[in-house]
Amino acid sequence: MGKKLVKYCVVDAFTDTAFKGNPAAVCLLEEEKDDKWLQSVAAEFNLSETCYLIPLIEPANTNPRFGLRWFTPVDEVDLCGHATLAAAHFLFSYGLVKTDTIEFSTRSGILIAKRVPEPKASNSQDDWPTGYSIELDFPVVQVAETNFNDVLAISKSLNGASVVEINETSMGDHFILLPSGEEVFECQPQIDLIQNCPGRGIIITGPAPQGSGFDFYSRFFCPKFGINEDPVCGSAHCALAPYWRKKLGKCDFVALAASPRGGVVKLHLDDEKQRVFLRGKAVAVMEGSLLV
């Protein structure tokens, strides 16, 4: 009997232009696979995230539900925004769901993705038949002061960048405020030094220039998980939203992921429910079947 092929699609998330934003491989499974296989496939794709979908039997009159797991090239993670957006785009665009809402069962609980109609820009290059974005309902990631006081080590890891604040997220990342969005954009990370810093990774952020159309810029470096730079990190924005809520006194943001690939994330923070709603677009760039 021949092997069952596993359908996959590579999707660029938080962009409507191919080869921008953050790429994720989405694999649709018909049956559970062991963790070694899942990790091996993620290492083979060698993208910041490879995610795996498996259909779940949902109660009658509910939204379609899928199991969803995320793997970097070296490990499984608890929360990933861009691969969740990519998974939702895959299901919507290939007609694999008939509703505008999908539920994902994950390590971080039930996450919801909604298809939200919006006018398509006249210069858009996306592949959607009609204009829409995808909104993700995610938990807030807390940001708090840290007892790590080695500003010099952090600054050196960011090639001498001026460090205004050092905080820490509840996911174990250093959260660094730089003086401006321009400095975030121009930062030249020293990956070997970041690898040796305590904690999981480093988020850097700064206020966007006036007139830019954005509220803040950010970037995320996580070499310990096989990701030197995550081009647009959705889960980092779950920490960025409550942080900038305190700084700017508002709950709605347009954020630029200032990596070389770039990407745009629209955010709404629900303080009462401690949820972050991330909205973005995505575009499929390749598809095929795994032969293993």
Cβ neighbourhood burial of 152 (10 Å; 0-12, 13-18, 19+) = exposed
Annotated catalytic residue 44? no
Instruction: Give me the count of residues in the chain.
Output: 292
Place of tokens 């007139």: 211
Distance CA 243, CA 226 (A): 26
Please list, residue by residue across 47-83, b when 16 or more beta carbons sit within 10 angstroms of its beta carbon and e when fewer do. Answer: bbbbbbbbeeeeeeeeebbbebbbbbbeebbebbbbb
Distance CA 254, CA 270 (A): 15
Q: What angle do CA 188, 193, 195 make, to 5 degrees?
A: 110
Strands 216-222 and 252-257, bridge-based pairing: parallel
Catalytic residue among 32, 49, 103, 272: 49
The token pair at 286 is 């390749």
Is the torsion defined by CA of 25, 29, 35, 38 positive or negative?
negative
Instruction: Provide the CA 282 distance to its chain's centre, in angstroms.
Output: 12
Q: Which residues contact 5 (CB under 8 A, 6 or more apart)?
A: 289, 290, 291
> Of 281, 233, 235, nearest to 116 (Cα)?
281
**Residues with a known catalytic role:** 49
